[in-house]
Structure 1
Amino acid sequence: MGRITALSLARMLGEADPSLPAYRWLFLALRSLIANGRILHGTALPSEREAVAALGLSRTTVSRAYAELRDCGYASSRRGSGTVAQLPGGPAAGGAEPLPLGGFGPAPGSAVVDLTCAAPNAPAGMLAEFERALDQLPRYAATMGYYPLGIEPLRVALAEYYTRRGLPTSPEQMIVTSGALSSVAAAGRAVLGRGQKVLAETPTYPNSLLALKAHGARTIAVPIGPQGSDLEQIAGALREGSPAAMLCLPDFHNPVGTLLDDAGRQRWAAELDRASVVGIIDETCAELWLDQAPQVLPMAAHSANLITVGSASKSHWGGLRLGWLRAPRHLVAALARARMSMDLGAPVLEQLVLANLLTSGKSLSDTTRATLRGNRDWMIGELGRILPDWEPNRPAGGLSLWCHLPQPRSTALARRLKSVLLAPGSTFAVEGHGLEHYMRLPFAQERAQLELALPAIAAAWNQVAR
């Protein structure tokens, strides 16, 4: 069990809200820190005496705030540990990706570190965003609640988001879905007939391919070059393969992490238009820059025939389960029909949360971005120390490293590990095999988990490599 010091807690709490009674402010601030994962389940809070000294509050104030936490299920008292932070009902095990690995994360209560999933935790303040959205919910509660294309405030906010990025967009071009995979699936249904071919770079994000294959599409692959998308090979594959659509990841490609510049985007879009191929542009990672904000236009700014897929999962929180399609005007109706064939709309409350976040300009939080950047740099340094033969990239954005291994043994390594779940390189291959010289290592998890995982990976690799 971890313990947080009183001084660390004081820094996390920040300034008190003078509009609230002191005990109420402290209770709400602590509840938010616990709910948002800033204080982890099972962490011992400072003793009341230590908190009084560090926070400058009375003993009565701290005692009442701790009691409120216990009453609402966000803390418990343990002999010898004092007050311990907890999540009501305990932490819930989340699902992992990519799904081709065959699982949904470790079993509940398992100590296994799951590195198959690349997604950050909810940022601080998410609980407050839901509370704000609840105040807006009554006007929608008087309706049936079905908004197949999304509620108007969210479609307006999404259109303004793209317009700010240099891609003029109207709300009528925005279609809200239940996630990026739903968006990809809807795009496939709208533009692909059964048996038609879709071109994709290899490696690529495998679940997007599954969404297209489920509709009966056939996949063909074009390899990514050492510096990212190989436009010469893409142009050749578009001419020779006769695909009907292409899955494109120009923004911090998952898993490679590369970012395509504007000149490359313009040429790629021109090649798609020349071949009369519809581009499905996956922008899931577009906001995940780590060093500096990229000065590039959305790829759809270079062609009127590109469908853009976006998602709140990586930039805001996976628990929102919201994605969207930015549709070319001539494909709006087809995409709307395809989307409505899947379900009758995403939850209204979550849409209100995302609309508020977008309207206020909030994306990946500064704290989350700094944590990801620190984890990336730390992981690269540790790999250089304990696995000097591995060659990790240093992505300017995204959530994982793409490591070149000295031997083609990534699947053997994943199988050897007992305490860590890994997705081998072949998971990301369009054809489902190859890429054994590569391993994706996410760095979005808590540093403590990464510190446990890397030595185990190194030990297993030494056995596999022999």
Structure 2
Amino acid sequence: MSAATPTVLRQLSPANTARLLGAWHAGGPAYVALADALRAAVLSGTLSPNTRLPSERELAATLRVSRTTTSGAYARLRELGFAVSRVGSGTVTTLPQGAVRPGADRPTGGDAPVVDDALRVATPAGGPSGVGHLDLWQATPPAPPELHEAFARALERLPAYLDSGGYEPFGLAPLREAVAARYRERGVPTTADEILITTGAQQAISLLAHTHLSPGDRALVESPTYFHAMEAMRDAGGRVVGVPTGPLDVELLASTVRRAKPRLVYLVPDFQNPTGFVMSADERAAVREIADRYRVTVVGDETLVELGLSDDETPPAFAGDGTSPHVVSVGSASKAFWGGLRVGWIRAHPQVIAQLARARQSADIATAVLEQLAVTELLGRRAEVMAGRRHMLRERRDLLVSSLRESFPWDVPTPPGGLFCWVDLGRPVAQAFAAAAAAEGALVAAGPLFTPDSSGAASRVRMTFTRSPAELADAVPRLVRAWGRVAGRQRR
């Protein structure tokens, strides 16, 4: 056992461990499969470092396996560097040397698992033949070539702001106007006072959750949906309720709003995360009518709107004519331009914008000036930059889709846009496959993670196509080996 145990930030109950792991047994010895499932959870971020795991006895009873299985699994985790144990402290998860997790690990209350889409893995221990993990989890493309010039021009404009204190709680005026102009281009009359600049779209969603939800309030989402949005709503004390999507049933949405009386509705209308579906113009109009009829705030997350990869015409903007006080839009530079640009925005009624600007003061006061100036430059060259981005992503999407179709008996639809494929494995083994894939050195996201109760989409996995062609090609044989383990156990 290790001589030292890291500071414990949270504790996972046996029941929540079982929910997190789902159908974890991917074939082979049970203790190896369980260790692989826990390791995959740590690598993906669904199980945070510095989390105390249940005792071997408690977990064995909950999973209905032998104590030998849980004991062997914990021993394997320690051997691979993903856990340490000490008498009196139990077994605590860790990231091994070489596994990189940017940013602070934010603790959450109770048993809630932490999911961090910013997780990056360099060369963690335990990968096949010492090779690092290939990340098909994180949905962020590399930076465009125009980024460097955008920052150079931003530096030229920076002196004009140096005599001020640098805090602009609503955002820099040029960027607010550039974002408003983009909404106007899309047919939504918008002024700068209807725009709040945030530190990424995630902060925008979190601000909306904390200003609209009180403990116990219901928040309505599509199921499946973007898991960080659900996390933000739970952090605000909200109770997350799901309605099926793919496509969205607006009549069911209306009846659920009427019965559940949510304080907030969160939808992803364009290239929905993770399904890739696009909400039609009629569906958007129906959602706006629901928002006004029931006076409920409906958030349209348009983070992926610029990433259309087909020749189909994108439906009109989610906000319509922009007159509904109950419809709020969220956007971001991170997916369109680069994940390192932590700049997002909210479009809403000016009174809502003022309320959100006051609420953000407890978080970060304002977004960095230089990044705002760089995004202003990129928005000015949006058509040129996005043409190159779409070409790159289209090639990578087609490569991943064709490779998966050639190698597996899965249903692999071609997404019309966005950054990921929503793959149907044909059997409810998503969590087992994700665990087996991590053991083979590839990270994929299991479908249940994207559902409010972590139980749906058990036959689905999300795979991003933002990695290089070489990395995508290298990932496929690893996935083949992982599928062989899972499918072999199913046959037996």
Q: TM-score, normalised by structure 1?
A: 0.76
For 2:258 and 2:453, the matched residues in 1 are separated by: 20
Equivalent residue number for residue 157 of structure 2: 136
Alignment of 1:26-425 (within 5 A): 100=115, 104-107=119-122, 111-225=132-246, 228-292=247-311, 294-301=313-320, 303-362=324-383, 365-387=386-408, 389-417=409-437, 418=439, 419-425=441-447
Equivalent residue number for residue 429 of structure 1: 451
For 2:312 and 2:370, the matched residues in 1 are separated by: 30
RMSD: 2.2
1:465 matched to 2:487: yes
353-362 or 156-165, which deviates more = 353-362
The Cα offsets for residues 218-249 of structure 1, whole Å up to 9 and x where unpaired, read as 11111114xx2121221221111111110011
The Cα offsets for residues 47-74 of structure 1, whole Å up to 9 and x where unpaired, read as xxxxxxxxxxxxxxxxxxxxxxxxxxxx
The one-letter amino acid paired with 1:263 is D
Segments of structure 2 that go 5 or more residues without pairing to the other structure are: 1-97, 104-112, 125-130
426-435 or 170-179, which deviates more = 426-435
For 1:176 and 1:444, the matched residues in 2 are separated by: 26
Segments of structure 1 that go 5 or more residues without pairing to the other structure are: 1-90
The one-letter amino acid paired with 1:326 is R
177-186 or 266-275, which deviates more = 266-275
For 1:149 and 1:126, the matched residues in 2 are separated by: 24
The one-letter amino acid paired with 1:401 is C
The one-letter amino acid paired with 2:143 is A
Tell me the percent identity: 35
TM-fit CA distance, 1:275 = 2.0
TM-fit CA distance, 1:195 = 1.8
Q: Does the C-alpha gap of structure 1 residues 101 and 148 become closer, same or farther in structure 2, counting only changes over 3 Å?
A: closer
The Cα offsets for residues 135-171 of structure 1, whole Å up to 9 and x where unpaired, read as 1101111111111111111111111111111111111
For 2:118 and 2:158, the matched residues in 1 are separated by: 36
Equivalent residue number for residue 10 of structure 2: none
TM-fit CA distance, 1:433 = 2.4
For 2:286 and 2:231, the matched residues in 1 are separated by: 27
The Cα offsets for residues 375-426 of structure 1, whole Å up to 9 and x where unpaired, read as 2122222112110x21112111001110111111111011112211111111
Count of aligned positions: 372
For 1:101 and 1:340, the matched residues in 2 are separated by: 23
* SS class of match (2:329): strand
For 1:129 and 1:180, the matched residues in 2 are separated by: 20
Is the 1:409–1:465 Cα contact (8 Å) retained in structure 2? no
TM-fit CA distance, 1:432 = 2.2
* SS class of match (1:219): strand
For 1:365 and 1:171, the matched residues in 2 are separated by: 23
For 2:278 and 2:215, the matched residues in 1 are separated by: 32
Is the 1:407–1:465 Cα contact (8 Å) retained in structure 2? no
Q: TM-score, normalised by structure 2?
A: 0.72
For 1:102 and 1:120, the matched residues in 2 are separated by: 13
Is the 1:101–1:427 Cα contact (8 Å) retained in structure 2? no
For 1:445 and 1:453, the matched residues in 2 are separated by: 10
* SS class of match (2:285): helix
Is the 2:306–2:386 Cα contact (8 Å) retained in structure 1? no
Q: Does the C-alpha gap of structure 1 residues 99 and 132 become closer, same or farther in structure 2, counting only changes over 3 Å?
A: farther
TM-fit CA distance, 1:191 = 2.0
TM-fit CA distance, 1:95 = 5.2
TM-fit CA distance, 1:103 = 8.1
Is the 1:148–1:343 Cα contact (8 Å) retained in structure 2? no
1:439 matched to 2:461: yes
TM-fit CA distance, 1:331 = 1.8
The one-letter amino acid paired with 1:429 is T
Q: Does the C-alpha gap of structure 1 residues 138 and 398 become closer, same or farther in structure 2, counting only changes over 3 Å?
A: same
For 1:151 and 1:197, the matched residues in 2 are separated by: 34
232-241 or 159-168, which deviates more = 232-241
For 1:118 and 1:168, the matched residues in 2 are separated by: 31
Higher RCO by CA contacts (8 Å cutoff, separation 6 or greater):
2
236-245 or 300-309, which deviates more = 300-309
